Structure 1
Amino acid sequence: MQQLEPDASDTYSYSEEGIQDQFRDVRRLGRKQRDARQVLAKRGFIGPPRNPVAIGKSIIRAGPIRVLPLSRQLSKSASPASSPSSPSSGEDDGSAADSDAAAAARLRDLRLAAATLIQRANSPPQVPFPVQMPDILRLPEECARCILDWTNERFENRAWNSSNDWGMELGPRMGLWTNQAGVAREVVLRGDTEAGFRMVQICFQQYQSIIQEEQPPEMLLKTLIVAFYMLQAGPELGASFVRYSASLFPIVLGKSHPISRIWHHINTLGVVAIRPYLSMILQAWWESLKRRLGPRHKELAVHRLELIRSLHRFGGLSMMSAKAGIEKIVDDMAADVKYWTLDYVMWAKLELVTIYVEAGLDTEAAELLEDIGRRIEASSDGGSGSSSYDIWTQTVYWYLRAQVMESLGLESDALESYQARYDACLKTVGPDARHTVRALGELERYNRKIGRIEVADELRAEFHKGWRIVCDRAAAVND
């Protein structure tokens, strides 16, 4: 009888370090089995084994080779009785049983090693230290949670009253502060850096007392608007305001305050990096107010329009989305004029014109302005010049018309519109009012642009005189 015995190197360990050596041994065993089959074929032994794993453990006989299935081999190893189909002796059966048992043990070792290797490949590596999710991934969800905490706390403590349309008025100082920051940006961009930065400094100084006294619902939106105002005036100025706000909120409101937590993320990422997430953050803010106030609250409509316009202005909302959102508000208001009044409807339409102007759609803006102008003129009371629309609706109309005419290159129409805006403010609030001084600066800039230098110089002198009064008045509020 001839029997193929395994070498000592054919034994396998359970250690993981020997996995690759074990597989090399398996390949070596396969080559030995192939060579053995070739030798047997030359000597007249025919018939391939049905179980290739057990070839080295089978008794080779003259004639066809029969290898029992592994399950029967294992049962024979437990009860070493002679196979009725095997003519071999008891000693041969014992040797075959021992050999089959060794093969079964080796096969179990191989299966265990393979399973261990597969489990290691499929399991993620264990990191021996904590890994924090980047702020950019946590920002929208974290800010939405902070906003919900803030609005719930303000309503539950009755700091904000939702009992009627005007029970939750805009923060008066917050609105004035935002407007002052916008004027300061325009003055800086116009080239009057020293004059503009004086108002910027005042806005920085005022902000602490504003958030201590008011904390109005629009505080988050207005602060973001001013941050982008400052960014437009200069990248470093925008970053400085964000850093200043991020350090101010924890001092005034506490580190755990929702606004402090939101502004921490904004400061970490930077005002430019958060631009793609502004829509999600501010939409969460508006939805939290909507849940408390209802969809027909007038102040909520104010917030909604300003939200859409601001997101479009600072790159957080496409022009088509902004246009569709404001058109829906216009349609809703026009369908119930008794509730919203003409000024609301006209104001919403002017916000749509603003979207067109900022997107460079001058033709669409001019067509809508023509319709608005006809309505304002038709509402005038005879020769008195009074109108059903308030003076601010009219001055915004003249300002937007001047911008569109200037963009279209219609010099005389643009100059007429800038002059009409200034005259309306001068007549309504006087020469030293913030709105009048702002309109005077716009008129001076355009006269200089079209070459009327002498007129522009005179207007600039008047502007600086009025601007000093406006800045002194704003600084006195904070004293």
Structure 2
Amino acid sequence: MSTTPTGHNGWATANDWASQRDYITTLYRDQNKTLKEIMQTMQDNHQFYATVRMYKARFQKWGIEKKIKAEEAVEIFRQQTARAAAGKPTVAYIRGRRIDPDRLQRYRYRAAPLISKKIMRAEKGADDEGSNSRISQVICRTPSPSPSPDTTDSNVSISPRIEEPTELRVPHECMQILRNFINGAFDNGIWQMAAKGDRAEMNGAFTWQHYVASSQGLIRHGRIKEGFSLLGMCFDQYKLQLQQPDSMFWLATYKCAIVLASQNNKLGDAFIDYASKLTALILPRGHPFNQLWSRVVLTGMSGINDHAGAIFESYLDMWGRHVNSRETNTTNDVQGAFVFIQLHCTGLLSYNLLETVIQAMITGGAISREAAEFLLQETKFRLALVSLGRRRVKKAETVTKEIIEWLDTRPPSAYPDLRCKAAWLMFEVKERKGTQAEAVQAGHNLLKLSQEIYGPSHIQTLEAISAVENYCRKIGATAGADQMGRDFESRWRVFRDTADAKSNFPQQIDQPWYYRSIELGEKVGYVQETVELFERCLKLSDDSP
């Protein structure tokens, strides 16, 4: 290999390319490096200098171009689906180069509508015309195991292929299982998105997830016994959810593990152990949820955290394709959009996917302008909360006032949940910035509004009482805190009695934005760019003829 600067003018010559071809091809194919990494390796180790354009020209000439062609992608998805149905893991190669699963998913998200339709048809086994001749450059196979340690035949000369590491294989297999599960549930009519005026089908997951988050809120406010009691109720209700899962069940399960682990790693591990064992007891061995758990437990919480983004993207991409292919009402579409927003603000969903979904919903009329403005205010609520978490109290106060000003332009009975959450924000702003008297007054305003909107023994009201009581104890207002403590105790008994009588949660939560705090850590930059995305989309909607 060349160890001296290339070419008379410092750039690689034709002879240099010829001498380095095998090595560059090896870097490109076997080590799956990006072009930038290849260029840097060649410069640092071999003083081989060439431009991006020169590399691309050589790759095309050598027949190892990087771009995935549409027909190749369709064929890979066709083969992956067929192999997953047979329980086979898959690695895909194009022209001898292994294709990274995440890259394949990114291709899918950004594909043109026509290509997306072809992919979905291929996954369902309905080939388009002319697709009977398979793409010869595409190879999908099972990762090869390393040779058995007791292989002693000296005449066998092989170069064993290394099996994909667990941390790479597991999320890819989970995506395949989820894709088949979602396709089958929708196609067989197990899941039906609500018709106009009907109750949304995804309420179960939202209700269960809401109470898990509420249990953590009670614990944070000092109501530890009640918080763990509510968490125990959530674990009990998981069994019912497992027997009749809705379309958001697995996403809620995955999120729950992350939420609990963010508070305490042992809680996250305990939930994984409980949920996986319960699934094995209740559902048949071959059920998709058992297949999923058998893989997830291999990586534990670290794997869940590392691959949550990729799995959420795959899940929501498939879910969104089915929802958009059917007649759905605005409530369902807004709920789905909110989940996309929430996960992107947490950093678990790419901006590209969020932008694609939101732009399509607004410009295509899937959600009305009023609904889009509501989602903008909900995102501003998240911006105010995350600003408070970063001690940017002035920013939080400004955004909170913007939300309240928007609400003042709507009928007094409209958006009760957002009104209550704005009261929460103002209480927390005053707690950090205002006088004690102002904070106490804001707390009483919150309690009054919560009781009017939800009722005296609703979980939202109970959590509000616990928060204001906790603040009063901090500032030494013991008389007021003691009274709120007595109110909490009596109302909690009503809450528990109702739960016992129903053998279920006392209230069903049918909106994902019901809960008033952030369940997972959110990044201020992600939330800000989501706000700007909505503002831009609404402006484009105004400017369009």
With the length of structure 2 as denominator, give the TM-score of the two structures: 0.56
When residues 430 and 126 of structure 1 are mapped into structure 2, their CA distance, relative to the original with a 3 A threshold, is: closer
Aligned partner (choices 161, 176, 189) of residue 220 of structure 2: 189
1:419 aligns with 2:444: yes
Cα deviation code 1:378-421 (max 9, x no counterpart): 335xxxxx34x232221122123333443445655544443223
For 2:363 and 2:401, how far apart are their aligned partners in 1?
A: 21
| Corresponding residue of 1:39 | none
Distance 1:458 1:277 in 2: 46
Taking a change above 3 Å as real, the CA distance of residues 472 and 270 of structure 1, as seen in their structure-2 partners, is: farther
| Distance of aligned partners of 1:152 and 1:409 in 2 relative to their CA distance in 1, 3 Å threshold | same
Structure 1 stretch 234-243 or stretch 167-176: which is displaced more?
A: 167-176
The residue that corresponds to 1:402 in the other structure is: 427
Look up the SS of the partner of 1:256 in the other structure.
Answer: coil
Q: How far apart are residue 353 of structure 1 and its match?
A: 2.5
Equivalent of 1:354 in 372, 375, 382: 382
Confirm or deny that 1:455 pairs with 2:487.
Answer: no
For structure 1, which runs of at least 5 residues remain unmatched after alignment? 1-124, 381-385
Partner of 1:146 in structure 2? 177
Cα distance, 1:356–1:435 mapped onto 2, change above 3 Å: closer
What whole-Å deviation, never above 9, does each CA across 1:400-445 have from its counterpart, x for those lacking one? 3333443445655544443223212212332122222122112212
5 Å matches for 1:127-206? Answer: 127-129=147-149, 133-162=164-193, 164=195, 169-206=200-237
CA contact (8 A) 1:279 1:316 kept: yes
Task: State the secondary structure of the residue aligned to 2:303.
Answer: coil
438-447 vs 278-287, greater mean Cα deviation: 438-447
Greater helix content = 1
What is the correspondence of 1:79-478 to structure 2 with a 5 Å cutoff?
Answer: 127-129=147-149, 133-162=164-193, 164=195, 169-213=200-244, 215-294=245-324, 298=330, 299-310=332-343, 312-313=345-346, 316=348, 321=351, 325=354, 329=358, 339-340=367-368, 342=370, 345-358=373-386, 360=390, 361-380=392-411, 386-387=412-413, 389-408=414-433, 411-478=436-503
CA RMSD of aligned residues (A): 3.4
Q: 1:167 to 1:264 in 2, by over 3 A?
A: farther
Equivalent pairs, count: 343
Instruction: Tell me which of the two structures has the higher relative contact order, counting C-alpha pairs closer than 8 angstroms and 6 or more residues apart.
Output: 2
User: 1-side partners of 2:201 and 2:437: how far apart?
Assistant: 38
Kindly indicate whether the alpha-carbon contact (under 8 Å) linking 2:333 and 2:366 is maintained by their aligned counterparts in 1.
no
Per-residue deviation, 1:149: 0.9
1:339: Cα distance to partner? 4.8
Residue 263 of structure 1, CA deviation: 2.8
2:368 counterpart SS class = helix
Q: Quote the offset at 1:206 in angstroms.
A: 1.1
8 Å CA contact 1:221–1:307 kept in 2: the answer is: no
Task: Give how far 1:212 is off.
Answer: 1.1
Distance 1:327 1:374 in 2: 29
Question: How far 1:126 sits from its partner (Å)?
Answer: 7.5
Q: Distance in 1 between matches of 2:368 and 2:360?
A: 9
Task: Answer with 1 or 2: which has the greater Rg.
Answer: 1
What 5-or-longer segments of structure 2 have no aligned partner?
1-144, 150-159, 505-545
Shift of 1:203: 1.0
- The question of whether the paired residues in 1 share the 8 Å contact of 2:191 and 2:201 is answered with no
TM superposition shift of 1:195: 1.6
Q: For 2:377, give the aligned amino acid.
A: K
User: Kindly tell me: are residues 156 and 336 of structure 1, through their superposed partners in 2, closer, same or farther at Cα, counting changes over 3 Å?
Assistant: closer
Using the size of structure 1 for normalisation, the TM-score is: 0.63
Contact 1:395 1:425 in 2 (8 A): yes
> What is the CA-CA distance between 1:344 and the residue it aligns to?
5.6
The alpha-carbon deviation at position 335 of structure 1 amounts to 7.1
Q: Which amino acid aligns with 2:217?
A: E
Contact 2:381 2:400 in 1 (8 A): yes
Are the counterparts in 2 of residues 170 and 218 from structure 1 also a CA contact under 8 Å?
no
Identity of aligned residues (%): 20
* Cα distance change on mapping 1:225 and 1:393 into 2, 3 Å: same
Other structure's SS at 2:301 match: coil
Output the CA distance in 2 between the equivalents of 1:346 and 1:197: 33
- Give the Cα–Cα distance (whole angstroms) in 2 for the partners of residues 263 and 141 of structure 1: 14
One-letter code of the match for 1:289? W
Q: How does 1:22-101 map to 2 (within 5 A)?
A: none
Note closer, same or farther for the CA distance 1:343–1:363 as it changes in structure 2 (3 Å cut).
Answer: farther
Work out whether residues 383 and 399 of structure 2, in 8 Å CA contact, stay in contact via their aligned partners in 1: no
Aligned partner of residue 436 in structure 1, secondary structure: helix
Displacement of 1:186: 1.3
Paired with 2:288 and 2:241, the residues of 1 have a C-alpha distance of 17
2: CA distance between counterparts of 1:326 and 1:397?
26
Change (3 A) 1:219 1:406: same
Q: Report if the CA contact (8 A) 1:343-1:393 is conserved.
A: no
Q: Any conservation in 2 of the 1:140–1:277 contact (CA below 8 Å)?
A: yes
Shift of 1:282: 0.6
Question: Which sits farther off after the overlay, 297-306 or 268-277?
Answer: 297-306
